[in-house]
Amino acid sequence: MHTSFWDLFAESVIIQGTVTLVLVVTLCVMFVTGRPVPDTLIGFAMLVLGFWFGTKSQRSIVMATKAAAEAKLLKK
């Protein structure tokens, strides 16, 4: 199953990944350059990471369930 860029964009996977990446890179740059990282920013980053990984996990479960249902229908 091949998913196009626009399908992923419509499902906001691209947007979620971009926001997560930008936030994590920002935290890493602040830490490496010695700037103080606000606790609020760390908390927000953990929230976004948790949401992103939870969404990825949920999406893979849904896709696996669909694949299993299709395989079961093809077996009949």
pLDDT tens-place string over residues 32-45: 999 999 999 999 99
Element (H, E) at 71: helix 39-75
- pTM over cut 0.85: no
pLDDT at position 68 is 85
Indicate if the pLDDT at residue 4 is higher than 80: no
**Structural domain count of the chain:** 1
Average pLDDT, the chain: 84
- Give CB contacts under 8 A, 24+ apart, made by 2-9: none
pLDDT at position 9 is 66
- Which residue type is seen at 76? K
pLDDT at position 10 is 64
Residues spanned by the domain of 17: 5-75
Tokens of 32: 């490496």
